[in-house]
Each structure stands twice: as structure tokens, then as C-alpha cells.
Amino acid sequence: MKFYIVRHGQTDWNNLGLNQGWSDTPLNALGQFQALKARDALRDVRFDIAYSSPLQRAAKTCQIILGRTIPDKSIFDNLDLEDAIELNHICRRHNDLNANCYIYYMEDLIERGLGVFEGKEGSRIHEISWKDGFNADRFKMESVPHMFRRVDRVLKQIQIDALANYGEDAKILITSHAGILRIVDYVLRGGTEQGLFYSALYDSAINLHLKNCEFKVYER
């Protein structure tokens, strides 16, 4: 069984360095172009099933990767010559391999709730908040252990369903957010909730940092 995890494409808030959390921000033109490039990189993979956060930046990334929607016309505005040539090649290489792949939109794959820090600048605040809870309740943030429990729950269900419906060779696409994919990575590498508490700093064990539309593959 293979898991392909993909972070969503860029949004304007990403570009401005703002914490997004549960805010439902859309992909910008570059983010849609990034999703097209991810589709091109994965064009030879036939996915059996796909799972996505319901937030539109992740959902549209998933839809573009699977060829289920086309980017907005804004993607074609202000492209330099090199990007325009690359886009032309991507469009020529497109196939319908995943046209019938079903997408489940899962609340458990939504980004971490950042409480009072949502919409605020400050990646350092977000990074510090991974360390021993950082008074999560005080700031109305979702705690790291709570994130672990919901990710662990959804991944177990995904594996059970994939094994029952597609067998041991199932190929599964997951599109989500930077924070949640750090936990997905930790769980797929065998991390446990107990292991979080034995780590002096959460981010010593939870250390995946995917760029927009970057992906990673795991075999289980």
C-alpha cells in the first residue's frame, strides 16, 4: 500500500506569511500552477482513492492533480516565457488516468486550528506552538496530542477501507496542510501518541516541512 501525501498549492496568505489554520483561503494563480506541476509529476500514478481536507486550498489542489477540474483563467495571466512553455508541455502530457478516482473530503484532514493566531503574521509563533503545547488552551489553539488523535484515527480508517476495497497494492492520494501533514508523516513512520510526550520538543519528532505542492511517498 502506498500513500502519496501532498501539501496544497500557494495561497495569498502563504505569500504574505500569514497563519491560515481553519481559514478557508483559496489557491492563487501560482498555487494552481503548482498543482498542475504536481499533477504532471504524478501523471503515471493510477490512484485507487483520494482523500482531502475540505478546505478549498487543499480540495482544489486534489481536484487539479486528478484532472477533475481546470485552473482558473488567472493562471495564464502574467506568465513569463519559461513558465508558459512549461505549462504548454504539462497540458500536452495530461492523461485521464485518474478521471474516475473518487475523492473523500475528510474533516480530520483539516489544518490545525490556530486560535487567536489565525490571520496573523508570525511563522515563529506557529513553530514555538509545537513545543509542549505552548499554552494551547490559553490561545484557543488545537493541541498537538489532539491533532495526533484525529490523524491517527483517519489514517487507520483509510488503511482499513483501502485494504478491503483495493487490496495490498492500493495507491492512496492525500492532500492536506503543512501542519497536519507533519503529523501524517509522524504516524506513517510509526510514531505514537506516547512518543510525543517522551520527546523534549514535539518538533524533534515531527519534522516534515513540505513546500506548497511538494509531495512525499510512503509504503506500508
pLDDT per residue rounded down to tens, the chain (220 residues): 999 999 999 999 999 999 999 999 999 989 999 999 999 999 999 999 999 999 999 999 999 999 988 788 777 776 778 887 888 888 888 888 998 999 999 999 999 988 888 888 866 565 555 654 555 777 788 888 899 999 999 999 999 999 999 999 999 999 999 999 999 999 999 999 888 766 645 556 677 889 999 999 999 8
Give the per-residue pLDDT at 125. 62
Which residue shows C-alpha cell 488523535?
149
CATH class of 2-219: alpha beta
Domain boundaries, the chain: 2-219
Question: From CA 7, how far away is CA 176, in angstroms rounded?
Answer: 5
Asked whether the CA dihedral 71, 158, 185, 134 is positive or negative, the reply is: positive
> pLDDT value at position 216?
98
In order of 93, 132, 152, 154, 181, the CA distances from 189 in angstroms are 33, 21, 12, 15, 12
- Using CA atoms, how far apart are residues 133 and 65, in angstroms rounded to an integer? 34
Q: What are the angstrom distances between the C-alpha of 114 and each of 134, 139, 180?
A: 12, 8, 12
